[in-house]
DNA sequence: GCTAAGCTACAACGGTCGGTGTAGAAAGTG
DNA sequence: CACTTTCTACACCGACCGTTGTAGCTTAGC
């Protein structure tokens, strides 16, 4: 007699087991992985955090590695969803490119506290990328950053069609925008570093948007950006290298 | 009879044991820690990499944790030295602030391949900063980034005195310069990511320097920066986010 | 309330790893 | 050369960890 293929059972991720337990595990694992990193995080600790027996973890996800992969993908998907919502809120009814992009840039660069664990996890991934199977990395990129970037590209493209931006390759423009506006902030949001003061975030975001407009708008943008930037602000010193 | 205090013996780091072995251990440990991270890196692997017995490691550094601390500090000191040399080469005989800062910014933002392991290690540290003892973090900051920042501040301050920049707080200016010029590049130099093409690095560095000049130079700089930047630059598209 | 799927607690295993002790080879110094 | 310091090879301990098996309890659907 053959395997019978019990209809909605486990084996493939996303099936089998009680969904509430599954959620608890994913949330708990995210917290622990983000705090301790893959190797240091013990399955027992995750089980404790999720208020679940370790056996349940092994039943729903076959082993620690696949659990890790599922956690990444799940968390990335959620963050991507939130970011896409943000994109659509700010970039669908643009009238003044400069003002609206500046406003959006500030929101975009401001870290969302409910996703702090996620970004800690991303740091973990980037640190030990050499030990994460390529397939997991791809799945993560696909269901997270790539989707966001595509949507950003789409919306920037629209602005291009309306003559508000001058861009030949929306995809590339999207990458540039994301890097220019968020990079400085994330670069300084590392370890337990005290959260950047709002003014500093705005300042960095503004200069990023300005740089972006430099390349993708008429020179008019450069002029007006000059006024926006220069308010003196207190700053929390922190390092990079 | 009392301890005798055997003059130049171990116990305090930096003493005891053959210096060549010590170097081999520090180098090997840097490679392994950078590749695998603290937890995953086994003392045996380090010993193998350094062509040394594990017992020698435990004799020179008391345990894995202190070895890690010594590795960080040693590596940071070396990198800081190289960066300071760079600073002095480019920022001591400035005549045209804009042109010279742009040139320096490009060099500054270009990753030095001989220190790739170091920056991988920094990524590891930032990922699991919560598990690195605060003392080790402080020692690292002190003997590495802080020294570089101080020197950068000193040199920028000189430019200020010569009237080439307008700055009230050189320290803050130094932080801003470092963040603005290097952040984007390091933000995209993550995992095995293909090295950024030179043109893209220059583009990001330039926009960083421009943003810096926006805040710390007269509006003249802004104007001229307009010309420097807005030559259409070919740029090689790149993946991931 | 019966049935079955899913969950918990618990014990157990094999493996790895940090760290120690020791005996002897190697290397530096006079 | 002898003497001392240091390094190596190796065996060993205790701790932790990923994973599995199992027996019994909980929960949901009929």
Instruction: Say if residues B16 and B10 touch (Cβ distance below 8 Å).
Output: yes
Are A127 and B124 an interchain contact pair (Cβ–Cβ within 8 Å)?
yes
Query: Where do the H-state alpha helices sit in chain B?
Result: 19-40, 43-50, 54-60, 64-91, 97-109, 116-127, 134-143, 145-161, 170-187, 198-216, 219-229
d(CA B138, CA A25): 35
pLDDT at B190: 67
C-alpha A99/C-alpha A103 separation (Å) is 6
SS3 state at B211 = helix
Whether the beta carbon of A18 falls within 7 A of nucleic chain C: the reply is yes
**Diameter of chain A by CA atoms?**
78
Model pTM? 0.86
Walking along chain B (241 residues) 10 residues at a time, the average pLDDT comes out as: 37 69 98 98 98 98 97 97 98 95 96 94 93 94 95 96 92 91 77 80 90 74 37 28 34
- A239·B149 Cβ contact <8 A: yes
Q: Among all residues of chain A, which has the CA nearest to that of B177?
A: A184
SS (H, E, C) B163-177: CCCCCCCHHHHHHHH
Q: Give the model's pLDDT for residue B214.
A: 83
Angle between helices A43-50 and A19-40 (to 10 degrees): 140
Q: Which single residue has its CA nearest the C1' atom of nucleotide D6?
A: B17
Is A126 close to B123, i.e. CB distance below 8 A? yes
pLDDT, position B187: 73
For helices A64-91 and A97-109, angle between their N-to-C axes, nearest 10 degrees: 150
Helix (H, G, I), strand (E, B) or coil at B202: helix
Instruction: Give the pLDDT of residue A219.
Output: 40
- H/E element, A214: helix A198-216
What pLDDT is attached to residue A49? 98
Q: A85-93 long-range contacts, Cβ below 8 Å, gap at least 24?
A: A87/A148, A87/A151, A87/A152, A87/A155, A88/A151, A88/A155, A91/A152, A91/A155, A91/A156, A91/A158, A91/A159, A92/A155
> Which residues of B fall within a CB distance of 8 Å from A79?
none
Cβ count near B155 (within 10 Å): 20
Residues in chain A, pLDDT under 50: 1-13, 219-241
Tokens in use for A60?
Answer: 């729903």
Q: Report angle CA B91, B93, B97 to the nearest 5 degrees.
A: 65
User: Quick check: A44 CB within 7 A of strand D?
Assistant: yes
- Give A209's contacts in chain B (Cβ within 8 Å): none
pLDDT for A146 equals 95
Which tokens belong to B78?
């070396």
- Tell me how many residue pairs between chain A and chain B have CB atoms under 8 A apart: 152
Residue of least CA–C1' distance to D5: B17
Q: What's the confidence (pLDDT) of residue A191?
A: 60
Of the candidates B127, B179, B188, which has its C-beta nearest A37's C-beta?
B127
Measured from the Cβ of residue B128, the count of other Cβ atoms closer than 10 Å reads 22
Do A184 and B183 count as a contact with CB atoms less than 8 A apart? Answer: yes
Q: Spell out which residues of chain A touch residue B128, defining contact as CB-CB under 8 Å.
A: 36-37, 40, 124, 127
The number of helix segments (H) and strand segments (E) in chain A equals 11, 0
Question: What single DSSP character describes residue A193?
Answer: -
Question: How long is the CA B13 to C1' C25 vector, in angstroms?
Answer: 26
């Amino acid at each position: 007699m053959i395997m019978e293929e019990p209809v909605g059972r486990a084996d493939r991720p996303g099936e089998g087991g009680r969904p509430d337990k599954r959620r608890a595990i994913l949330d708990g694992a995210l917290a622990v992985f983000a705090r301790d990193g893959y190797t240091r995080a013990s399955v027992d600790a995750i089980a404790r955090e999720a208020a679940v027996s370790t056996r349940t973890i092994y039943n729903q996800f076959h082993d620690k590695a696949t659990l890790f992969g599922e956690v990444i993908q799940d968390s990335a998907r959620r963050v991507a969803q939130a970011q896409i919502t943000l994109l659509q809120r700010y970039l669908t009814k643009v009238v003044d490119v400069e003002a609206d992009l500046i406003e959006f840039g500030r929101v975009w660069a401001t870290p969302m506290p409910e996703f702090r664990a996620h970004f800690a996890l991303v740091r973990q991934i980037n640190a030990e990328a050499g030990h994460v199977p390529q397939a997991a990395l791809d799945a993560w990129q696909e269901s997270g950053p790539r989707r966001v970037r595509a949507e950003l590209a789409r919306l920037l493209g629209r602005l291009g069609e309306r003559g508000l931006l001058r861009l030949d390759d929306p995809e590339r423009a999207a990458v540039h925008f994301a890097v220019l506006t968020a990079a400085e902030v994330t670069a300084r949001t590392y370890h337990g570093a005290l959260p950047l003061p709002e003014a500093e975030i705005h300042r960095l975001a503004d200069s990023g948007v300005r740089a972006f407009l430099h390349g993708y708008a008429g020179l008019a943008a450069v002029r007006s950006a000059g006024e926006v930037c220069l308010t003196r602000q207190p700053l929390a010193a922190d390092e990079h290298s």
